[in-house]
Structure 1
Amino acid sequence: MRTPTAGRLNQRGSALVVALLVLVMMTMVVLASSRLIVDEQRIGSNQNDRQSTFQLAELALKAAEAKVLELDESLGVASKSDEALFGSAGVFSETCRNDANPAGWSRGLCADSQQLGREVAQSWERTVSVGEKTVPTLHPCGNALEYPFKRSVGQGHCPDVVSPDGLWANPRYQIELVDKNHQDSDGGGRLYRITVRAWGQNANSVVTLQSYYVVP
């Protein structure tokens, strides 16, 4: 009967250590690869969500432009005085809200610095108080108009509004009358500025777009 020598025992011990080190290294490589795959999937998902959000913002912007035509006609903007439009009880206000306006137009109609004669925040920077919190006027709980892209059911309390229909919330938009007597190569008219904000599946997927629209 042969008995293992001390040298052979040392060799077996070394082989075991090497095998364990190799196993640990392979495990680390597998874990790193898995983490990389998860990160790439998350980045791809975020990019897709942002692209979809951008397309939704464009869609809401087109709808808002059509709404401007309705606004201009239903409120008779062309025939109203500057006081009636931008005064203390005017159609367009600094806070983008006026409960004295007809139903459907009590919010989302903003007066800018030029019309008010004093400096006010840009439309995408304006805020409004909601309870003890402050949110942007373009927030779902703010003083903006809603583009009803999807039916909102069982939304949460402000300011944490969550839609169960695959969107964090429907897009919101504001309308500003920049120049009542705008002139351009096509003859001019009432120059409006529209600011739209849309969200994707989560609140961090945000796209804000702005356009100018002339009603002849």
Structure 2
Amino acid sequence: MLSQLNAAARGVVLLSALLWLMLLTVVVLGVGRLLRNEQRIGSNLDDAQLAFRLAETALQEGEAALPSLPQLAGLGAMPAVELRGPTSPFTLTCRQPRNPPPWQQGLCLSAALAGQAYPVPWQQRDASGLALLHPCGAARRVPLQPVSSGNYCPGVAPGPWYWADPHYLIELLDPRYPTPDGSGLLFRVSARGWGRQAGSVATLQSHVLLRPEGSQGRQWQRLSWRLLP
């Protein structure tokens, strides 16, 4: 009788130990999954921040490039017909082979100036369906990595540090924008950066006024900026 009780007690202890072991296993697996999820979330956040910083770099690069645009001196006096014509440095497709290098792409004419219903450049796609603000589109590249993604278009070969170098578009909004010291040039700069993954994207945009030429040349002023959804 005593041996039967001892055997039953050992069975209960063994069953309890197995239950505790199963419970501990479930807890360990749950904690491991939680840690992996937190690590993934942290990695995605880091990637999004990287994309934002690269887009910011491209935005500043585009703004700083404004004083060196082609035909800048004559833009304010250029007739509307000529501004919309085939020799204009700014086009609806953001490509102009007549421009001197490296300005043969990335310079866009606003649909309002062109008098046409046209998508805004940062949402526009070319005839092949590729976005203009893309490493293989019409945007200007800010070379930060040793390998250009554009060399592999229409595909994109990810770079060693992030998916692709940031790119930007410069859009002419108003060639005769009124300022206290005369007519300035109003531009919209749209910049996009990518993180380590193609899905990590940040798009920034600014409105920039290029003031009339003075003793220090043309000075630019950022009027506003925003993060596009």
Q: TM-score, normalised by structure 1?
A: 0.86
Equivalent residue in structure 1 for 2:123, among 122, 125, 137: 125
Summarize the Cα distance change of 1:156–1:15 in structure 2 as closer, same or farther, 3 Å threshold: farther
Summarize the Cα distance change of 1:96–1:75 in structure 2 as closer, same or farther, 3 Å threshold: farther
Equivalent residue in structure 1 for 2:204, among 170, 191, 209: 209
Task: Return 5+ residue gaps in structure 2 as ranges.
Answer: 212-229
For 1:72 and 1:186, locate their aligned partners in 2 and report how far apart those are by CA, in whole Å.
Answer: 23
Alignment identity in percent? 37
Q: Which amino acid aligns with 1:92?
A: F
Secondary structure, aligned partner of 1:127: coil
- Structure 2 partner of 1:169: 164
- Structure 2 partner of 1:192: 187
Alignment of 1:142 onto 2:137: yes
Secondary structure, aligned partner of 1:190: strand
Q: How many residues align?
A: 211
- Structure 2 partner of 1:51: 49
Q: What is the aligned-residue RMSD (CA, Å)?
A: 2.3
Matches within 5 A, 1:16-165: 16-71=14-69, 76-130=74-128, 134-152=129-147, 157-165=152-160
Q: What is the CA deviation profile of residues 55-97 of structure 1, one whole-angstrom value per residue up to 9, with x for unaligned ones?
A: 2222221111111110055674334332332224432222111
Q: Which amino acid aligns with 2:159?
A: P
Summarize the Cα distance change of 1:16–1:91 in structure 2 as closer, same or farther, 3 Å threshold: same
Secondary structure, aligned partner of 2:179: coil
Secondary structure, aligned partner of 1:168: coil
For 1:92 and 1:143, locate their aligned partners in 2 and report how far apart those are by CA, in whole Å.
Answer: 12
8 Å contact from structure 1 (residues 198, 208) kept in 2: yes
For 1:153 and 1:209, locate their aligned partners in 2 and report how far apart those are by CA, in whole Å.
Answer: 21
Summarize the Cα distance change of 1:113–1:45 in structure 2 as closer, same or farther, 3 Å threshold: same
8 Å contact from structure 2 (residues 135, 150) kept in 1: no
For 1:72 and 1:172, locate their aligned partners in 2 and report how far apart those are by CA, in whole Å.
Answer: 19
For 2:109 and 2:150, locate their aligned partners in 1 and report how far apart those are by CA, in whole Å.
Answer: 29
Q: Which amino acid aligns with 2:95?
A: R
8 Å contact from structure 1 (residues 57, 207) kept in 2: yes
Secondary structure, aligned partner of 1:4: helix
Q: What is the CA deviation profile of residues 1-39 of structure 1, one whole-angstrom value per residue up to 9, with x for unaligned ones?
A: x9822x433332232222112111111111111111111
- Structure 1 partner of 2:3: 4
Summarize the Cα distance change of 1:98–1:75 in structure 2 as closer, same or farther, 3 Å threshold: farther
For 2:127 and 2:151, locate their aligned partners in 1 and report how far apart those are by CA, in whole Å.
Answer: 17
For 1:84 and 1:77, locate their aligned partners in 2 and report how far apart those are by CA, in whole Å.
Answer: 10
Q: TM-score, normalised by structure 2?
A: 0.82
Secondary structure, aligned partner of 1:183: strand
8 Å contact from structure 2 (residues 70, 99) kept in 1: no
1:150, distance to aligned residue in structure 2 (A): 2.4
Secondary structure, aligned partner of 1:178: strand
Moved over 6 A (4+): none
Secondary structure, aligned partner of 2:65: helix
Summarize the Cα distance change of 1:51–1:213 in structure 2 as closer, same or farther, 3 Å threshold: same
